[in-house]
Amino acid sequence: MEVFKNVLCPFCGCCCDDLEVEVDSNKIINVKNACALGRGKFLSIGEHRLLKPLVKVDGELVETDLEKAVEKTVEMIKNSSYPVFYGFGCASCEAIKLCLEMADLSGGLADNISVVCHGPTILGLQDMGIPSATLGQIRHRADLIVYWGCNPVEAHPRHTIRYGPLSSGRFVTGRKSRRMVVIDVRKTPTATMADVFMQVKPNSDFEILTALRALVNDLDLEVEEVDGVPVAKLEELADMMINAKFGALFFGLGLTMSYGKEHNIEAAIALVRDLNKKTKFVMIPMRGHFNVTGANEVFTWQTGYPFCVDFSMGYPRYNPGETSAVDVIARGECDLLFIIGADPCSHLPHYIVERLKNVKLVVLDPSITPTVKMADVAIPVAYVGIEASGTAYRMDGVPLQLRKVVDPPPGILSDVDVLNRIVRRLK
Ligand code: SF4
């Protein structure tokens, strides 16, 4: 039996890099240190596995070989008038770079899943900048942790232990040395751990953030409550924030996808900026998939823009709302959707999935997903971070190495190897 230490978990944006994976005869038999989500991924890679390339013939998916599937993919990209390359939350940075090359070569559009999660965060930080830090700095120094519109206990289960209120840092140790605040529309499992839980009405975040800014700036609010939250409670929270030695605000889709969207993020950034006149405060978005941050990083190195990049004019163009994958599909402008590291048929709105019936679909995925079932071409690939190595960016923008601990099933290549074959032929 071989034990791989310090393995990175390819599940959520925490990218925990302290896993121990026990492997016997190329089979993962145990995973230590991971939460149930991460452990489940390592131990279930054999389930619902896509083992052979598939192509659609007369409406039915039939097995084929890799060469024919690659050939068919290249032919479809060449014949497409406007292909869209989408996904990337669960792909390595190396694979994302190759997909951007394909989008450039074919004059198509490249977009990543942040368009339906933290896109507003990106728009907000482009307008305002973001006072941020690494998760390590927060673990070692933060004495106040605020979770706004996110539920790490269920979505990022080790966040509170590795980086949040329960973590043991060098200068601040354990739960007793830290205060914890949760702001959400419902009492989540994370909220039950908090010192202060502030329940807000749905879509009232902008008003609450603006009221907090006023209080942090020593202004009086001449009302009894703001959107149902008593001003006394807001004053208590503002005092806690000002009196923290080092505060950290983590925020999720409850803030980015409620009314106001990027304006909520701008208001949160403005609040943290105001707090920095009185103390030290930082903020980090709770990114979902393990490399959605990497998708934004690679898009930005390669094109100058973090998502929604259109190459149809022969150069990268960026106009979220016009050049996002969802908008392009909704307007019926794309005739080919190339997907890697995502399952849009499970995640996109139903009316967008309906539109995909009129679009050719190429999917690279290790497992049989609803998107694979709708595909015209589906090519199996190795699980990156388990069966193939690569690079991923943690939610705080720190790049980390994904490791290979077992070989993929016979005949299955990494997504980088498959993409290299496609790019070579396209050229
Ligand atoms: S918290 Fe996320 S990265 Fe860490 S072990 Fe759990 S699923 Fe994996």
For the segment 366-419, what is each residue's pLDDT rounded down to a tens digit?
A: 999 999 999 999 999 999 999 999 999 999 999 999 999 999 999 999 999 999
Task: Read off the DSSP letter of residue 190.
Answer: T
225 alpha carbon – ligand 1 mean position (Å): 38
**CA–CA distance, 299 with 303 (Å, rounded to integer):** 6
Which tokens go with 345? 């048929």
Shortest-distance atom of ligand 1 to CA 290: 3
| Atom number, ligand 1, closest to the C-alpha of residue 156 | 1
pLDDT digits (tens, 9 = 90+) for 77-118: 999 999 999 999 999 999 999 999 999 999 999 999 999 999
Residues with Cβ within 6 A of ligand 1? 9, 11-12, 14-16, 34-35, 37-38, 156-158
The radius of gyration of the chain's CA atoms, rounded to the nearest angstrom, is 23
Q: What is the 161 CA–ligand 1 centroid distance (Å)?
A: 11
Question: Which residues contact residue 225 at a Cβ distance below 8 angstroms, ignoring those fewer than 6 apart?
Answer: 231
Of 6, 7, 14, which is best to mutate to test ligand 1, by the most ligand atoms within 8 angstroms of its C-beta? 14
Which residues are CB-contacts of 201 (< 8 A; sequence separation ≥ 6)? Answer: 185, 227, 228
CA distances from 349 to 83, 88, 211, 256 (A): 20, 18, 33, 17
Q: Give dist(CA 399, CA 87) in Å, integer.
A: 19
How far apart are the C-alpha atoms of 198 and 319, rounded to whole Å?
Answer: 36
Question: What are the extents of the domains in the chain?
Answer: 2-43, 54-116+290-426, 119-285
Helix, coil or strand: residue 357: helix
* Residue 159 alpha carbon to ligand 1 centre in Å: 8
For a ligand 1 pocket test, name from 6, 7, 8, 12 the mutation site with the most ligand atoms within 8 angstroms of its C-beta: 12
| Cα 425 from chain centre | 31
This prediction's pTM: 0.95
Q: How far, in Å, from the CA of 156 to the mean position of ligand 1?
A: 6
Q: Which pLDDT score is estimated for 274?
A: 98
If pLDDT is split at 50, 70 and 90, which confidence band does 305 have? very high
Which residue type does 171 have? F
- For 314, half-sphere exposure in the C-beta direction (CA atoms, 13 angstrom radius) is 0
Of 253, 395, 293, which is closest to residue 88 (Cα–Cα)?
A: 293
Q: Return the CATH superfamily for domain 119-285.
A: Dimethylsulfoxide Reductase, domain 2 (3.40.228.10)
38 close to 161: Cβ distance less than 8 angstroms: no
Give residue 163 CA to ligand 1 midpoint distance, Å.
12
Residue 244 banded pLDDT, cuts 50, 70, 90:
very high
Q: Say whether 390 sits in a helix, a strand or coil.
A: strand
Q: Which of 16, 33, 44 to mutate to test the pocket of ligand 1 (most atoms within 8 A of CB)?
A: 16
In this structure, the residue with its CA closest to atom 6 of ligand 1 is 35
Please report the pLDDT score of residue 347 as a whole number. Answer: 87
Cα of 32 to ligand 1 centre, how many Å? 12
Centre of ligand 1 to C-alpha 36, Å, is: 8
Q: pLDDT digit string (tens) for 34-82?
A: 999 999 999 999 999 999 999 999 999 999 999 999 999 999 999 999 9
Percentage of the chain surpassing pLDDT 70?
100
Q: What CATH number should be reported for the domain whose range is 54-116+290-426?
A: 3.40.50.740
Task: Determine the Cα–Cα distance for residues 385 and 392; give it in Å rounded to an integer.
Answer: 9
The answer to whether the Cα torsion of 156, 177, 265, 183 is positive or negative is: positive
Q: What are phi and psi of 71, to 5 degrees?
A: -60, -45
pLDDT at 349 (0 to 100): 87
pLDDT-derived band of residue 364, with 50, 70 and 90 as boundaries? very high
Q: Count CB-CB contacts under 10 A for residue 148.
A: 23
Tell whether the torsion through CA atoms of 118, 124, 127 and 130 is positive or negative: negative
- How distant is the alpha carbon of residue 322 from its chain centre? 21
Residue nearest (by alpha carbon) to ligand 1 atom 8:
38
Ligand 1, pocket-test mutation among 37, 139, 383, most atoms within 8 A of CB: 37
Task: Say how far apart CA 139 and CA 24 lie, in whole Å.
Answer: 35
Looking at the chain, the whole-number percentage of residues with pLDDT higher than 90 is: 98
Q: How much distance in Å is there from the Cα of 177 to the middle of ligand 1?
A: 24
Q: How far is the CA of 135 from the centre of ligand 1 (A)?
A: 14
Sign of the Cα pseudo-torsion (164, 170, 174, 176, in order):
negative
List Cα–Cα distances, 205 to 252, 253, 421, in angstroms. 12, 12, 47
